[in-house]
Chains A and B, each alone.
Chain A
Amino acid sequence: MKLFDLRGGVHPEGKKDLSADRPIRALPLPKRLYISLQQHIGAPASPVVSVGERVLKGQLIAAAQGAVSAPIHAPTSGIIAALGDHVAPHPSGLQVPAITLESDGEDKWIATQAVDDPFALTPEDIAARVGAAGIVGLGGATFPAALKLNLSRNSGVQTLIMNGGECEPYLTCDDHIMRERAGEIIEGIRLIAYAVSAKEVLVGIEDNKPEAIAAMQAAAKESAVKIVVMPSMYPMGSEKQIIQVLTGKEIPAGGRPADIGVLVHNVATAFAVQQAIRYGKPLISRIATVSGGAIKQPCNLEVLVGTPVEELIAYTGGYTQPAARLVLGGPMMGQQFTHTDVPVVKGTSGVLALTSKEIGQAEPSPCIRCSTCVRACPVGLLPLEMASRIRASDLASAVAFGLKDCIACGSCSYVCPANIPLVHYFNYAKGDLAAQERAKLKQEATKKLADARNERMARIERERAEAMAKRKAAKEARERAAAAAKAATEVV
């Protein structure tokens, strides 16, 4: 199959060999799980259990709230120990509402509903089951999968692209799930394709994963699913980029893949979909890579959602040297964190403990406008121009240079010979613009309230004046009548 060129991109050192030949192992059952209520894009889930309640594995513990949200299920059986705040897997280190589950060690499943012939279900039913199972995009974006299925079915998607790119260095979790669970993934892919009635199904896998390619090709032999080998390059696994490489189409600025008739899902999401539809199992665990120069035995683990990260690190033998930076996800786009009691969430693809040599932090020096970042940008933006505008607090012109199309892949920061934290500038600017937007919306709302109050006050004042005038007129009339009566009696 003919592939299209990717604009820009970089070739970071893969470092995948650290964990690439370690098969997936299940992490022993942790004692305590901290299940965050915000594990997806959208409104946080709302708890449906109370403290002290006994729950079974797979039982619903928090329901979806609002249009964009996903439910959360108990990752193991046990007792709800607390409903309160716990540190979020987020660089801010802020607390978020979480459910603390004390496991009872039995790991007893709730009764699940298996389906013998999932293709006899209607596409709507599949989407509903995917939604009820709490499945979100496992590539890291954590967008509720059912919503994506419904949106794509309604807009008539032609091409389903399954993302097996895994272009982030260090991570090998998608590689291993494809090597070891290819049959389930292919069934999941066929279910997704059926749910959105896609005409063409492509699975893009980077050529640095030959075992995964072989396993997936063997599993896909008898189906319409096409395995496409792509060159290894960062950010090949980004939604916009994989579409461009496989179809040659580009998503319009500010648009969605559905606008050009494409739906992209991660291969791990396909596995979760298959488990949910065929066995009725909700999404309560995922495969995560534990790696980095400071980790003794890098490996791939199947972990329950809510497991504290320190348990993963301890299971792999702990640190060989103090970690200079801890990262959730890949080193290019992952989130750094400081407390090791942060829990694994549905979107955690990796836990990295990097040494100071690996992060290679150096003091930034002045920009010499060498334009290396321009060549590296996969979106075709001018990172140096945007960063200089943002540095001067001129966010409006940074937006004019296309800031909103930046996918924050970090390619520009990676190649910058002056070590300028370009993507940090863009993340700051996007956050600040969002805050300004919120402030503006709030101001508009409060203005309406103020106007309504002013109007009400004026009306009350007017009514009071009118009532007063009425009373005065009535009093005068009474007085006149009394005077007239008096005059009449005098005359008589």
Chain B
Amino acid sequence: MFTAVISLTILGSAMGLFLGYSARRLEVEGNPLVAEIQAILPGSQCGQCGFPGCAGAAQALADRNAPITLCPPGGRAVVQALSLKLGIEANLSDVKDSVPMIAEVKEEICIGCTRCFKVCPTDAIMGAAQQIHSVFREACTACGKCEEVCPTESIKLQPIPVTLQSWHWHKPLAQGATA
């Protein structure tokens, strides 16, 4: 019995020392999860989630203080990626991703004030003073910042028009019970 007590004590203290040492030695500064979550988020710092930028949102997500459906421009793809990363079941039906939007300039009433392109987080707006502005569709994340600052309501979010390339069959309606 004596040997057992001694050997367990030695074993325990050795392991404790090892763990204590490695905890100091291998200490991680900050939560690595935050960086990983931030990599998933769009990074346009639009603030639609209510947090100061994507870094703030990532911190809140890592602390489990925010739902994973918080990011409107990210849409369903981001929710799914976050659900995988955080191991949280996502209710995709809550995500309003049915009509992806995009900013569009009404050229008749654009006065070329340059306010929108100054706030665009992805440099998706092209323009100069007294010139009609235009939106690069591929770069627009529909964050809506331009819409807020436009003095003439010339720039507005519109649903992305469906083309032959983006059209696909809708999901079959579950009539009765199928499959």
Which residues of A line the B interface, CB within 8 A?
A: 38, 88, 90-92, 94, 96, 363-367, 384, 387-388, 390-391, 393, 418, 420-422, 424-425, 427-428, 430-432, 434-436, 438-440, 442-443, 445-447, 449-454
Interface of B is mostly: loop
With A90-B164, A427-B168, A428-B169 as known contacts, state yes or no: A388 contacts B179, CB within 8 Å: yes
Contact of B167 among A92, A387, A453 (CB under 8 A): A92
Whether the pair B122, A443 counts as a contact (CB closer than 8 A) is no
Whether the pair A443, B179 counts as a contact (CB closer than 8 A) is no
Q: Say how far B44's CB is from chain A's closest CB, in angstroms.
A: 5
Contact of A443 among B42, B171, B175, B176 (CB under 8 A): B42
Whether the pair B169, A449 counts as a contact (CB closer than 8 A) is no
User: For the complex, is B166 an interface residue (Cβ under 8 Å from A)?
Assistant: yes
- 7 tightest Cβ-Cβ pairs between the two chains A and B: A431-B168, A387-B179, A447-B43, A449-B122, A366-B177, A92-B167, A450-B43
Whether the pair A435, B168 counts as a contact (CB closer than 8 A) is yes
Closest residue on chain B to residue A97 by CB atoms: B164
Within 8 A of A (CB), among B26-79: 42-45, 74-78
Whether the pair A453, B138 counts as a contact (CB closer than 8 A) is no
User: For the complex, is B124 an interface residue (Cβ under 8 Å from A)?
Assistant: yes
Q: How long is the Cα–Cα vector from A434 to B92 in the complex, in angstroms?
A: 18
Question: Chain B 93-108, CB within 8 Å of chain A: the 1/0 string?
Answer: 0000000100000000
Which residues of B line the A interface, CB within 8 A?
A: 42-45, 74-78, 80, 92, 100, 121-124, 138-141, 162-164, 166-172, 174-179
Q: How long is the Cα–Cα vector from A366 to B168 in the complex, in angstroms?
A: 25
Closest residue on chain A to residue B77 by CB atoms: A439
Q: Say how far B39's CB is from chain A's closest CB, in angstroms.
A: 8
Closest residue on chain A to residue B120 by CB atoms: A453
Contact of A366 among B42, B92, B176 (CB under 8 A): B176
With A364-B178, A446-B139, A449-B122 as known contacts, state yes or no: A393 contacts B92, CB within 8 Å: yes
Q: How many A-B pairs with Cβ below 8 Å?
A: 108
- Residues on A with C-beta less than 8 A from B45 are 450, 454
Closest residue on chain B to residue A416 by CB atoms: B179
Q: How long is the Cα–Cα vector from A38 to B92 in the complex, in angstroms?
A: 35
- Residues on B with C-beta less than 8 A from A445 are 138-139
Q: How long is the Cα–Cα vector from A388 to B45 in the complex, in angstroms?
A: 38
Q: Say how far A68's CB is from chain B's closest CB, in angstroms.
A: 13
Q: Say how far B89's CB is from chain A's closest CB, in angstroms.
A: 11
With A92-B162, A388-B179 as known contacts, state yes or no: A450 contacts B42, CB within 8 Å: yes
Closest residue on chain B to residue A443 by CB atoms: B42
Contact of A94 among B43, B78, B122, B167 (CB under 8 A): B167
Whether the pair B139, A94 counts as a contact (CB closer than 8 A) is no
Q: Say how far B122's CB is from chain A's closest CB, in angstroms.
A: 4
Contact of B178 among A88, A420, A428, A434 (CB under 8 A): A420
- Residues on B with C-beta less than 8 A from A439 are 75-77, 100
Closest residue on chain A to residue B100 by CB atoms: A439
- Residues on A with C-beta less than 8 A from B121 are 450, 453
Whether the pair A88, B179 counts as a contact (CB closer than 8 A) is no
Interface centre among B42, B77, B92, B172 (most CB of A within 10 A): B172
Whether the pair A363, B175 counts as a contact (CB closer than 8 A) is yes
Contact of A436 among B76, B123, B141, B171 (CB under 8 A): B76
